[in-house]
Chains A and B, each alone.
Chain A
């Protein structure tokens, strides 16, 4: 082989390598221009709460991955009251027919529908937010649904912060929790808020923890459905009438902060803590102590990137805050933004509390802790496992309210 032949060989090798590199280019983090995804919301996309947090995460995904503006196919108010003719399965069918290559079903309420849809579309990766279908050790594990993953934020920490802020501010020592429906998720969030409140009542306010009142009332669903749930505004009124001066919301929408904001404007010493959405304090800033919120964007970007890279796996992710900066929009799955209603003194104590949670110096799910019925949850010094926290069997001792259907 002569000199020309060697050059020819080198050229051929270079060309081959170039082709391989070029072929891999699409897999190198670049989303195809026609990539679309479906976003199924249980409530209105502008509810200033749960659904808006998901909707804005979808916008974040579009921005971060450089997708076209119409890449997100959204359908909001997907629930039996607002759309009686619509099922999750049919919505997924429509989104897939519209080109969606990935689906986000964003409510606990969508469990039956998204599991059925995942079985019907095994080639379409899906995320059921807040679910446990992909948790191999979980109670609801569905090994057969290899295209359905779960993402949830460790809201427990942000709820602890919320409870602490409430205890640091309360003048009456009576805190109220506006609960949605009763299940494992809502029980663990109420428990977390209670633990945070009790800790701060005892350690920063230097009060006897047994003197802290903490009551929860459940409306029956994630948001108000007239005729089928209790009216959250009315429940908030009842809380205020009973002497509670901080209302912590656990529902998807803003009734608590709106109603408390009206009372605050009438010079009543009452405050509220909304939920879910970073901007939720805007409904009544002066009466707002802060908001524990979900930041779904980064985890949704990761999930979608895995689909683009053809590396999607149905995993169960329970993502905590970025303790270096719990409000970092690119790294923290949950966060807390203090509101105008939080005093400077309370704010300083709260910062200390947050630092303690982040460093691990404050571990609130450590025994001794009892369930509401007096039975032992954690023995002295015992720390709860993820399983024990996720599947909270009851409310904790010291909380007034129903642990299960009465």
Chain B
């Protein structure tokens, strides 16, 4: 109920923030918002481009929801996306065969690499009490460095040492598409399935209940007989696997090659999506769509209005700030009033 009350206020504040930013940038706000909306949804191809950005964002956010519920700040998700892309690229480059064979292998390769990379901060956290924020940031740099090494080294184009990317994969390794749509139904299906699975996992399973118990109070959960470390490791692995699939989508569904910035910033953006969603699985898909629409649609600001489209990043950041401020204000108000329970559920 509280979300229903707060949503209109947050939405109004967010729209107000967008108008102020656009106005400050010298853009006619209504026209600019119309251009962004048309750029994201105006044609079926644009809708496809928006869903192309939505897919890895939802996958990353769905994974992050699990780690957030376990009380973990898995900032290293960017690195897990990158390692997933590397795993998928390895499969795409080394396995020859029909799409029906290669594409599943790239997805599995991406998930395995992403999960394996996520197990490193899990191990550091559970074994040495190294906070996952620090290890995650460091491991993201390492993953990016590995990608760069592969691109200008063993996987470089013949006679070239450039961070432009590897050779294009064999088209049989690309995620299949329909017509001129750039978004793959396989990727979209994976994203939808991920949200559904996380929803069921966190809301309707004993596992989810225990994950949340660990996240709320690990010591109490441990005293109640829950093997907390095992659950933390499982949360990391599941998030890493979903992030790895996001990386696969980026590598085999969008770029069709490995590039250094393969994660596309969708990991960090996923953190914002989960925060805005109030840690609820059902809200991830629409909020991610909103973010993807701004990101894709804002290209039109440059093309049609001559406005620097990096404004999209400013808008996204401001949106998060505004909504968090509104949320914080409401928590503050609630603390002074009657106690409200039930907030922050999956």
Contacts and interface: CB of A to CB of B under 8 A. Distances in A.
Q: Do A and B come from one complex?
A: yes
Interface string B297-309: 0011011101001
Interface string A61-77: 00000000000011111
Contacts of B212: none
Majority DSSP secondary structure for residues of A touching B: loop
Contacts of A228: 144, 148, 163, 260-261
Interface string B65-107: 0000000000000000000000000000000000000000000
Interface in B255-302: 255-257, 259-266, 292, 295-296, 299-300, 302
Contacts, number: 105
Interface residues of A, number: 41
Contacts of A90: 45, 49, 182
Contacts of B299: 75, 83, 85-86, 91, 94
A182 B161 contact: yes
B162 A221 contact: yes
Contacts of B45: 90, 93
Given A75-B299, A89-B182, A225-B261, A405 B163 contact: no
A86 B254 CA distance: 9
A76 B302 contact: yes
B300 A94 contact: yes
Contacts of A393: 159
A402 interface: yes
Given A112-B168, A227-B144, A85 B153 contact: no
B289 to A, nearest CB: 13
Contacts of B260: 80-81, 225, 228
A280 to B, nearest CB: 22
Contacts of B261: 80-81, 84, 225, 228
Given A90-B182, A183-B159, A109 B164 contact: yes
Given A97-B43, A228-B148, A85 B53 contact: yes
Contacts of B180: 120
Contacts of A73: 303
B163 A85 contact: no
Contacts of B229: none
B152 interface: yes
Contacts of B182: 87, 89-90
A82 B161 CA distance: 20
A404 B159 CA distance: 6
Interface residues of B, number: 45
Contact of A112 (B162, B257, B264): B257
Contacts of B256: 112
B255 A181 contact: no
Contacts of A227: 141, 144
Most buried by A among B49, B161, B255, B263: B161
B160 interface: yes
A200 to B, nearest CB: 29
A86 to B, nearest CB: 6
B49 A218 contact: no
B124 to A, nearest CB: 22
B126 interface: no
Contact of B303 (A95, A109, A112, A221): A95
Interface string A86-126: 11011101110110000000001100100000001000000
A225 B160 contact: no
B302 A74 contact: yes
Contacts of A80: 165, 255, 259-262, 264
Given A81-B260, A85-B292, A405-B160, 15 more contacts: A75-B302, A76-B302, A80-B255, A80-B261, A83-B309, A85-B52, A85-B53, A86-B296, A89-B182, A90-B45, A220-B148, A221-B162, A225-B260, A393-B159, A404-B159
Interface of B: 39, 43, 45, 49, 52-53, 141, 144, 148, 152-153, 156, 159-165, 168, 180, 182, 254-257, 259-266, 292, 295-296, 299-300, 302-304, 306, 309-310
27 contacts: A74-B306, A77-B310, A80-B165, A80-B262, A81-B260, A81-B261, A84-B263, A85-B49, A85-B264, A85-B299, A86-B296, A87-B182, A87-B254, A89-B182, A94-B303, A95-B303, A109-B162, A182-B160, A183-B159, A183-B162, A220-B161, A220-B162, A229-B163, A404-B161, A405-B153, A405-B156, A405-B160
